[in-house]
Amino acid sequence: MAIGEFEAAATLPGESGILLSTPMYWLYEMGHAALSPARALADVTRLYYKNPANPLTHTVYGKSVAAAMELFERSTRRYGRPDWMIDDTVVGGERIPIDVKTVWERPFCRLLHFERAFVRAPRRPQPKVLIVAPMSGHYATLLRGTVEAFLPNHEVYITDWRNARTVPLAEGRFDLDDYIDYLISILHVLGGETHVIAVCQPSVPVLAAVAVMEADKDPYAPNSMVLMGGPIDTRINPTAVNTLAVDRGMDWFRSNVITKVPFPHPGFMRDVYPGFLQLHGFMSMNLDRHIEAHRNLFLHLVKGDGDSAQKHREFYDEYLAVMDLSAEFYLQTVDTVFVRHALPKGEMTHRARRIEPAAITRTALMTVEGEHDDISAVGQTEAAHRICVNIPDDKRVHYMQPNVGHYGVFNGSRFRAEIAPRIADFVLSNNGAGKGGRRSNGH
């Protein structure tokens, strides 16, 4: 399953689009509120038909009613920000407790540290890793598996982007320039000797932030950056969502996918690209698969297959939890990355200053792609090597993982077994002054 990038909203039906004005968001909120009594009734009915004291509970009829009520309730609820559910990790055969702490905060982002409560210091080096989560609709918890893979042997930090709907208008705007400023500020807070891992959408702003820092001779520029399934140059093997972004044009996006946050949310009257529209784009990309998954949930519940039903719940609790994006960030990113291709063409700017990837000389570069990625196709991330011309050859690595899609680039069994160990090796080989990386063809 792919993590649909935010340009997936271009899958909205109709060439003329649907005019998404402020009342549309209000109608969505009213519809959700209107269904509340029905959801409550469905939940009560489900509990009635799951009560062991009810004779119908043990019949096919009772199980079918309970399953149908659960499907209705889950299909109409609003999913909040999921929990990390990371309580511990195993280091050197010892289970170490994890405490998730906020160590830096701005209106649109928190920096989280997965602090490991060691009784005694680990023997192996523990490189400091900053995972930059996508700000493309899902919460940072979608990278739970990514975090867990690095926790045993790394000091892990992650950007936890806030839902724009919860940020008061008085906190000001947030665009791509602000995103880059946040990254630079975070790297300063971490104090150097840091390795950055950008997952999907952040690949462009991470590369831009590193270029700005290198051009300024900033001592806190990271030792290495790993770009995973990112849209560095979407002109290469363009996917359906890439071409739709170009075909629609910026005027279509401004007129059809931007709305204002309704009352009573804290971000009342803020211009956003709303989460419910995000979800429409995500679901429509693989609608048949989602329908089949929910059909299977019904059958699992009727048959009493609790394990399969729980796996479905866990996946969709995460997948259906989406957040609003700041309109400024969304529109500037679509224009810069997917319409004008500004970074690979040497035209991207930060605060009216041109980004110079050629200024990167000290930060090692690794790119990772998935063979079947339908969001950031093969070649789009590797393009970073062609624009970062002054990184020494011994500090470059590119790896293409066979038989995985977009989601498999940063999560799943192949990520844990084949991708994460390569990233860990690359990070360790660049963990300190004077240490170079190794050129690799991925084998």
Q: Any idea which of 16-30, 91-105, 241-255 has the lowest mean pLDDT?
A: 16-30
Mean pLDDT of 182-200: 96
Helix (H) or strand (E) holding 361: none
Q: What is the pLDDT of residues 119-178, one digit of tens each?
A: 777 777 799 999 999 998 889 999 999 999 999 999 999 999 999 999 999 999 999 999
Q: Give the residue-averaged pLDDT of 71-80.
A: 90
Residue pLDDT, tens place only, 390-403: 999 999 999 999 99
Express as a percent the part of the chain with pLDDT over 90.
71
What percentage of the chain reaches a pLDDT higher than 70? 93
Q: What is the mean pLDDT of the chain?
A: 89
Q: What is the pLDDT of residues 195-230, one digit of tens each?
A: 999 999 999 999 999 999 999 999 999 999 999 999
Alpha-carbon span 69 to 50, nearest angstrom? 11
Helix (H, G, I), strand (E, B) or coil at 293: helix
pLDDT of residue 22: 55
The position carrying tokens 């400091």 is 128
What's the pLDDT band for 14 if we cut at 50, 70, 90? very low
Is the pLDDT confidence value at 244 over 70?
yes
> Could you give the CA distance from residue 161 to residue 108 in angstroms, rounded to a whole number?
6
Q: How many CA atoms lie within 13 A of 116 on its CB side?
A: 25
Half-sphere CA count of 388, side-chain side, radius 13 A: 33
Asked if 157 and 126 count as a contact pair (C-beta separation under 8 A), the reply is no
Say how many residues make up the chain.
Answer: 443
Picking from 5-9, 328-332, 382-386, which range would have the lowest pLDDT averaged per residue? Answer: 5-9
Integer Cα distance of 375 and 378 in angstroms: 10
Read off the pLDDT band of 329 (50, 70, 90). very high
Does residue 235 register a pLDDT over 90? Answer: yes
Taking residues 8-36, report their average pLDDT.
63
Residue 435 confidence (pLDDT): 41
Residue 31 has pLDDT above 50, yes or no: yes
Pick the CATH number of 1-34+82-432 from 3.40.1160.10, 3.30.565.10, 3.40.50.1820, 3.40.50.1110: 3.40.50.1820
Give the model confidence (pLDDT) of 270-327 as tens digits: 999 998 887 887 787 778 889 999 999 999 999 999 899 999 998 888 888 889 999 9
Give the span between the Cα atoms of 138 and 159, in whole angstroms. Answer: 13
Angle in degrees, CA 283, 288, 142, rounded to 5 = 40
Of the two residues 373 and 184, the one the predictor is more confident about is 184
Q: How far apart (Å, rounded) are the C-alpha atoms in residues 222 and 7?
A: 29
Q: Looking at the predicted structure, is the pLDDT value of residue 365 above 80?
A: yes
Domain spans of the chain, in order of start: 1-34+82-432, 39-79
Q: Is the pLDDT of residue 440 over 50?
A: no
User: What CA–CA distance (Å, rounded) separates 180 from 35?
Assistant: 40
Per the omega criterion (within 30 degrees of 0), is the bond before 266 cis?
A: no
Assess contact for 195 and 223: CB atoms under 8 A. Answer: yes
Instruction: List alpha helices for 155-274, DSSP H.
Output: 176-190, 203-215, 240-248, 250-256
Per the model's pLDDT, the better-predicted residue between 15 and 33 turns out to be: 33
